[in-house]
Structure 1
Amino acid sequence: MRYSKYPLSDLLIIIRDQAPLSLSFNQGELSRYKVTVDSTFTDGLSAIRYLVKELPLNVNIVNGVIVISPKVDAYIIGGIISDKESGERLPFANILFDNRVYISDENGYFRLPAKHSEGLRYSFRYLGYRQVDTTLSPGTGRIIFLKSTRLEIKELLFEDYETGKALQIGDVSGVIRINHAIAQYLPGNGDNSVFNLLRLMPGIRATGEPSGLSVWGSRPGESSVVFDGSRLFSMSGFNEQISSINPYMVKEIRLMKGGYGPQYGNQTGGIAEIVGINGNRTKPEFKLNLNNLTANLFGSVPVGKRATVSAAYRQTYYDLYDVNVLNPYGKRGEIQTSGNGNSSNPGNNQESIYITPDYNFRDANLKLSGDLSDNSRYYISLYGASDKFKYSISGEEFSLDAFELNNQISASAGFDKNWKDGSSSGINFKYSALDNNSSKAVRLNKENYYTIDTDNIGTETGVKIRHSFTVLSINNIEAGIGADNFSDVFNDSTSKENKFNFYINDNINLRKLSLHLGLRGDVYNQKLYLQPRFSLKYNLLENLSLGASWGIYNQFFGKVPIIYDKIAPALIWKVLGKENYPVMNSIHSIISFSYSSKEWLISLEGFNKNNKGLTQIIRSGNTTAVENGQSDIAGADLFLKWEKKGSQVFGAFSLAKMTETYDTKLERTRSSNPLEIKLGALLNLNPFFFSASFVYGSGYLNSFGIGRYSNLGGEVYSRFDVSATYSFKIKKSKFRTGLSVLNVFNTSNAKTLDILPSPNKAGQNMFLNLYSESIPFTPTLYLEIDL
């Protein structure tokens, strides 16, 4: 063989054809090397080893194939985990190697150590997908395809089911990963599946059906829902007939109840991190969900070979008909009395009045995602939502008109790059804004008339740059910097502030022990807030592990209650750390135990949260006072699940003790003991699915101040739901139809709207409790079409 300054890639092709041999190499990469040779070789492999001996290349033989790959100081395997059918990347997938568990990032990218240059065995797992076991040699640019169990419900060779493997608890203390595909078979209307599943998780408040996310007793605004990196503000929805994010746009739900890493800031409660889909790159997709309460339309179209555009739109039509017509228990009494009062006229010795508010909601999503190359990708995600909420009532001695309008928009964009050495970098932008307008007009005793108008705008803007790399084969380090801007407008006053941050997180994987050591720093209002955080997991046995996490968390932008003398409190978004509104601080401590097998999943978590910097505004007449306080909550969550062949039974139990203290002239302390029991079952008789869920809760307080609203909440809550679903196909189109009944026993779960003074004819001072109902007996029939 005699060649001079010849491209290495071309020489390898010549050797391959003459030997012959099976070769694997990057032709574009190896064409950069020009080699000179004047020798004779006994075989092709000897020739190849000679040509690359002084080059930064490795030669390995994997299953009879000669693989030529770049040489690195530490052997690294890198690549992307994707859905085999759609090409959708799978975030936070698990990779098992050498009795250690590694996790891919939010884009499905993974970096794994290799002990040597020869091929090694790896297992790739993702919720709702078949496990893949394969042999890999060092190098980057790998693509691992996993097949969804959704396609194999009837396949006899595999015991994989779409309704199985729906949850992952115990990998990190306080974190639950959810395959939300199971939610479409749970009671509901097929359009509220995201929160339908979240509300059944331990530690997530379902009692009272709050419109926002509440984790481990967190107050409004302390916990958040994050979609594609942007905060989603909670709307004013008085029930859960529609969730705050379209289920068609959801790929992964990662619920972090507490003790999470330093990548996450500006939050003292829990975080529901939702990763949006990228869309199907192989073919167009269209889905339609129609039910008697909402409509949902989704479409995804490939743009060339490297990008997709996805869009979705939802709309409610609650006023299309009176849902009480279908209630066999009859319509809830609009006026409830005590004693011998006449119930024909509001104002005569009434205690409670039932109101059905007018409510409508609509939202839209638009997302563009794609690849600039095999190692780089981008996305742009837009979201907008609007809702209206109003009610009114009048009587001889009083009248009330209330109205609330919310408009929300969010936008996020990101770019990620994987490098040849196995490291990755990314930059992300986010913007979220909520415009809230509310008005309340009250007339008492014909002469006392007053109105309260509230205009509140909250915005959050940010950018983050991060870089991840591997050190010493067992350390995966992520570091990042960022900047945020918070602003609020409350009536005529405006406040804004900038924040700069940095963080570093070291994930150390040993054989039985995994450690996460991190530090976050926020520079805000000329002050540095350092927040150390760590977590660990120790595998006692193959399926049995112990875990713990601890961390300090600060929140610089949150919700503050305004407590009035005569009407119900309001909540406004406020920039914290200025004037009398301190930065919130929370310390999380968690210990956990978990056991998992093919059929069983058991998780027990004990937690403690100490919160400082709570704020509430007291409005009395023309005076305004700001009170600061602190709270403590300690409790435990237990989750049990048994599943077999796609059917499952589960139970979640949460118990806690809460205290909240405000520093005023007379120190006030409130305490409560919230308890929740949640049970669920799903029977998979494919193509028929039957499910039921039950929630019981008590001890939750929504109390404010020391006046008439100081004892709100605490009532016992219960709700039993059932559903039946049928799935079928016509040619290549998929159909799913179902009947669901919410609140089967029509349990009265009241939500107080206002408490008004109303003297009766005897001159006694009485109070009228104006309340709405969470979800009454509600049957829903829906049809979903997937083209």
Structure 2
Amino acid sequence: MSRESYIKIIICGLLLCIFTNYISAQNYAVSGYLIDADTKETLIGATVYLSDKGTGVITDRYGYFQLAGIPKGEHLLRFSYVGYETLEIKIEIKDKGIALPDIEMKPQSVNIEEVVIAASSISKAADRQIETSMIELTPQMIQSIPTARNDVFSAIKFLPGIDRTEPFSPLFTVRGGDPGENAVLLDGVMIYNPYHSSMSSGIFNTQTIKSVDMLVGGFGAEFGGRNSSVMYISTKDGDRSGLHGEFEPSTFHSKAFLEFPLGNKGSAVIAGRYFFDIVPYFIMHNKSYFYDYNFSYTCRLNPRHRLTGKYFQSHDRNAIDMNTFYQYIDNTIGWNMYEDFSFIMTDKWTNRAATLIHNWSLSPAVFIRSQIYYSSHSSRNISNFDYRLPEVIDGDSTFTNIHLMTSSEFNNRISDLSVKTRINYTLARFNTFTAGVEYNDYSFRNSAVINLTSQGQLKHKPCQWSIFAENKLEIGPLILRPGVRSVNYDNKEWLHEPRVNLVLTLPDEFKLRSAWGLYHQYIISMNTNEIEMNQSVDYYYPLTNYKPGKSVHYIIGLDKQINPSTVISLDLYYKDIQRVYTFDVNQTDTKVITLSDKLQQGSGNAFGAELLLKGSKNNLSGWCSYGLSWANRQYPFIYNGRKYPYDYNRRHTLKILANYTLTKSLEYNVSFTYLSGIFRSIEQIRQDYYYYDPVSEELSIFPIWISNEKNNARMPALINLDMSIKKRLRSGFGKYFSELIHAKESYMIVTLRNLTFFRRNVEYFFPLYVGSDDSRYLPIGTNYLPSLGFSYSIKF
């Protein structure tokens, strides 16, 4: 689109705003926060309804609402939220808008029939659902998934369109995109590599989470920098009524959460977790652990101003040493091939983030949110395969001077200092204008050593400016939100990203949704899955002398409200991946060149369909989803430039989650997943590079396995059936202990995994010189038998 076309669009938008102001000159706005009457926590997604006009809105992710287009006179506002008593307030508009004080809603007793983990509504008031491919998660939904371990990143993999990558990796892909194309925002702070390696889980304590918005495509102009998805996590501000919290020791990890008032106008949250992998430590002498903690303070200066400060830190150390494990194998496959065999992986990384947020209600029609944050991630990951080839002589083993070895070491650091402001201007009942600006100051440091050969180093400090504008219009049954995002990276040319979202209400409780958008990404992730034993972290890399990654999203969906608590939806999507990058690190085993020279440009596409049914009936609630997808990539140096299936594409996925609340003290959760296997290149040829060490007089061999076709096989499908039981303790030691510390209640949670006794072959190892058939693969499986876990939770 030409510059003149953008100028015309901006002029038309300004004229529309002027016209809207003119026709709404005699109308006014009402705004305010909705909070819990007990904890004073803001309520996200509560409905605000103007009874006499039949219009309404819902509170945003900050618990704030703006309702415009109200004429002079008396009016009745109705506030409603699931699990709270409905509240009605009379207001009188005279000659200006009204900024209401905090509106307190009282929690109500909920019957068993009303306890649901997946309630949904597509009523007119729910304008947050203008996002075409957006799914909301609550802490209750996350806790109900047996295998999620109360972790948000494990929970989202039960949603349609989101799939896991490597078996032991926390990374995930969305609708055929790369793992590095997913943005994770913690209260507006971009978090880099928000994962723990030891449990393949996220670094966020679920006890601190208020809500999670998962946008899996077609997201608006407010978000940028990533081409696949956006996860926006909102955390709690703290309980102003008194000291409350939760402590949960378990066989997996221990965690604690506290919230309390701090000062007359403030509240605070402190939370932390610690994990030590006890069983592998005793069996295999692996020393793996992680910890994370966070602190939050919110000060409500007055009804118009709120100031929030947050700090977060996590650290991981994951060490896997298979030498002890190979001693158990001994000569079970005919002879002791692992007599002089070493396999070691060591991962270390640290995350830090700090932010200061100011929310300002300038007027009932204008809301401004300003934020400054610092976020950093550093990692050092090492993997090593070391094998001295034995030669069998007279039934004994002697060693030749042939030494097989493959190793890798990746170091990565990224820091991001950002300042941003967002303004929301409610012009009229049918028109809301949103705009914002953001500045990012980045610092990158990358290095790699593969097979003892340095692959180069990079240090770069780019900056980035981003501005966006959106205008949401409600015209009868149609909601239209055009927008544009413009980005200037490293003081180069401005790139523009036009986007549009549309929702059309149809008869018989149907809704048609559509989205189109252009997306650019300047920060990519190095693909090391073919080099490392298990890629469990994104290595962020800046595109300094290359054009950014580019994709175009086309999405259309149809929703049907079956009843007030049940909805079925169908999404069709096509993603045109016009520019994508990968690293060809193997090309440098014979020559050393810089990291940037290994970058290769390609293209691809992804398309598919997703069907989702979620809701509740009586004491049963949950969701069921089915996904059908294709994804392809194409690079000039791979497979002679021909298209090939994307590594992590799963053709069929079936995900079922059910929660059954038998009584107020006892509930059952069951999850089932069927995932088609990912693609894998089965190598038929091995290419060896030789290195002779004159000091040790050893000949080292660096093998590379080669296939004449990329991703020529598919791994077996994965099948999981798991369940959990949550029981409120009314007797025994757990009950007595909770009473001793004056806790309100205590729970015991029992988790059973792999109830189908399904053997999961997560990897196929290619040994050397085993018998006469050198192409033989040995499967390495996990989870042969069901596993049992216990956790004890105390709330006070």
Tell me the TM-score normalised to structure 1 length: 0.79
Conservation of the 8 A alpha-carbon contact between 1:476 and 1:507: yes
Per-residue CA distance 1:619-650 (angstroms, 9 max, x = gap)? 23143533211121111111112412442142
1:485 aligned residue: 441
2:48 corresponds to 1:95: yes
Deviates more, 1:445-454 or 1:474-483: 445-454
1:152 aligned residue: 109
1:691 aligned residue: 669
1:658 aligned residue: 631
1:724 aligned residue: 725
Q: 1:165 aligns with which of 91, 104, 119?
A: 119
Conservation of the 8 A alpha-carbon contact between 1:153 and 1:162: no
2:64 aligned residue: 109
1:42 aligned residue: none
The letter of the residue matching 1:390 is: A
Conservation of the 8 A alpha-carbon contact between 1:213 and 1:224: no
Deviates more, 1:663-672 or 1:103-112: 663-672
Per-residue CA distance 1:681-732 (angstroms, 9 max, x = gap)? 1111222101101010114337699955954864301111111111358676
Residues 1:361 and 1:126: Cα distance change in structure 2 (over 3 Å)? farther
Shift of 1:93: 3.7
Conservation of the 8 A alpha-carbon contact between 1:439 and 1:452: yes
Conservation of the 8 A alpha-carbon contact between 1:127 and 1:179: no
Residues 1:715 and 1:122: Cα distance change in structure 2 (over 3 Å)? farther
1:781 aligned residue: 790
Q: 2:746 aligns with which of 735, 738, 745?
A: 735
Separation in 1, partners of 2:628, 2:79: 36
Residues 1:145 and 1:114: Cα distance change in structure 2 (over 3 Å)? farther
Separation in 2, partners of 1:496, 1:217: 30
Separation in 2, partners of 1:513, 1:294: 49
Separation in 2, partners of 1:415, 1:683: 41
Aligned ranges for residues 157-236 of structure 1 at < 5 Å? 160-161=114-115, 163=117, 165=119, 171-188=130-147, 191-206=149-164, 208=167, 210-234=169-193
Query: Which SS does the other structure have where 1:482 is aligned?
Result: strand
Query: Which SS does the other structure have where 2:524 is aligned?
Result: strand
Q: 2:511 aligns with which of 532, 540, 545?
A: 545
Q: 1:437 aligns with which of 380, 386, 400?
A: 380
Report percent identity of matched pairs: 18
Q: 2:462 aligns with which of 491, 497, 502?
A: 497
2:549 corresponds to 1:584: yes
Shift of 1:400: 2.3
Separation in 2, partners of 1:657, 1:290: 42
Q: 1:389 aligns with which of 309, 314, 318?
A: 318
The letter of the residue matching 2:626 is: F
The letter of the residue matching 2:609 is: A
Per-residue CA distance 1:729-779 (angstroms, 9 max, x = gap)? 867612222111122223233433x855512254x5346668564796321
Separation in 2, partners of 1:572, 1:473: 44
1:291 aligned residue: 250
2:641 corresponds to 1:667: yes
2:567 aligned residue: 601
Q: 2:37 aligns with which of 61, 74, 84?
A: 84
1:468 aligned residue: 424
Q: 1:512 aligns with which of 477, 481, 484?
A: 477
Structure 1, unaligned runs of 5 or more: 1-70, 325-354
Structure 2, unaligned runs of 5 or more: 1-23, 123-127, 324-337, 390-401, 448-456, 684-703, 731-738
Q: 1:617 aligns with which of 568, 583, 586?
A: 583
The letter of the residue matching 1:432 is: S
Conservation of the 8 A alpha-carbon contact between 1:298 and 1:311: yes
Shift of 1:653: 0.9
Separation in 1, partners of 2:83, 2:555: 28
Conservation of the 8 A alpha-carbon contact between 1:682 and 1:692: yes
Larger Rg: 1
The letter of the residue matching 1:82 is: I
Separation in 2, partners of 1:127, 1:87: 16
Query: Which SS does the other structure have where 1:259 is aligned?
Result: coil
Separation in 2, partners of 1:111, 1:233: 33
Deviates more, 1:215-224 or 1:442-451: 442-451
Q: 1:521 aligns with which of 483, 486, 490?
A: 486
The letter of the residue matching 2:665 is: P
Residues 1:410 and 1:245: Cα distance change in structure 2 (over 3 Å)? same
Shift of 1:96: 4.2
Shift of 1:323: 11
The letter of the residue matching 1:165 is: A
Shift of 1:412: 2.0
1:365 aligned residue: 294
Conservation of the 8 A alpha-carbon contact between 1:77 and 1:114: no
Residues 1:463 and 1:698: Cα distance change in structure 2 (over 3 Å)? same
Residues 1:732 and 1:291: Cα distance change in structure 2 (over 3 Å)? closer
Per-residue CA distance 1:271-296 (angstroms, 9 max, x = gap)? 11100100101111121011111101
Shift of 1:447: 2.1
1:13 aligned residue: none
Separation in 2, partners of 1:766, 1:171: 53
2:699 aligned residue: none
Separation in 1, partners of 2:573, 2:530: 34
Conservation of the 8 A alpha-carbon contact between 1:100 and 1:509: no
Conservation of the 8 A alpha-carbon contact between 2:79 and 2:87: yes
2:406 corresponds to 1:454: no
Separation in 1, partners of 2:357, 2:629: 39
The CA RMSD measured in Å over matched residues stands at 3.2
Separation in 2, partners of 1:218, 1:488: 23
Conservation of the 8 A alpha-carbon contact between 2:195 and 2:203: no
Query: Which SS does the other structure have where 2:278 is aligned?
Result: helix
Separation in 2, partners of 1:499, 1:469: 25
Separation in 1, partners of 2:210, 2:531: 45
Shift of 1:182: 3.2
1:4 aligned residue: none
1:629 aligned residue: 602
The letter of the residue matching 1:419 is: L
The letter of the residue matching 2:132 is: S
Conservation of the 8 A alpha-carbon contact between 1:406 and 1:436: yes
Shift of 1:664: 2.3
The letter of the residue matching 2:558 is: F
Conservation of the 8 A alpha-carbon contact between 1:222 and 1:267: yes
Query: Which SS does the other structure have where 1:261 is aligned?
Result: coil
Separation in 1, partners of 2:82, 2:569: 17
Separation in 2, partners of 1:748, 1:708: 28
Separation in 1, partners of 2:352, 2:788: 32
Residues 1:277 and 1:508: Cα distance change in structure 2 (over 3 Å)? same
The letter of the residue matching 1:689 is: E
Separation in 1, partners of 2:629, 2:787: 31
The letter of the residue matching 2:241 is: T
2:215 corresponds to 1:260: no
Separation in 1, partners of 2:313, 2:272: 10
The letter of the residue matching 1:652 is: S
2:657 aligned residue: 680
Shift of 1:315: 1.0
Per-residue CA distance 1:369-395 (angstroms, 9 max, x = gap)? 121211111111111111122223352
Query: Which SS does the other structure have where 1:221 is aligned?
Result: helix
The letter of the residue matching 1:701 is: F
The letter of the residue matching 1:782 is: S
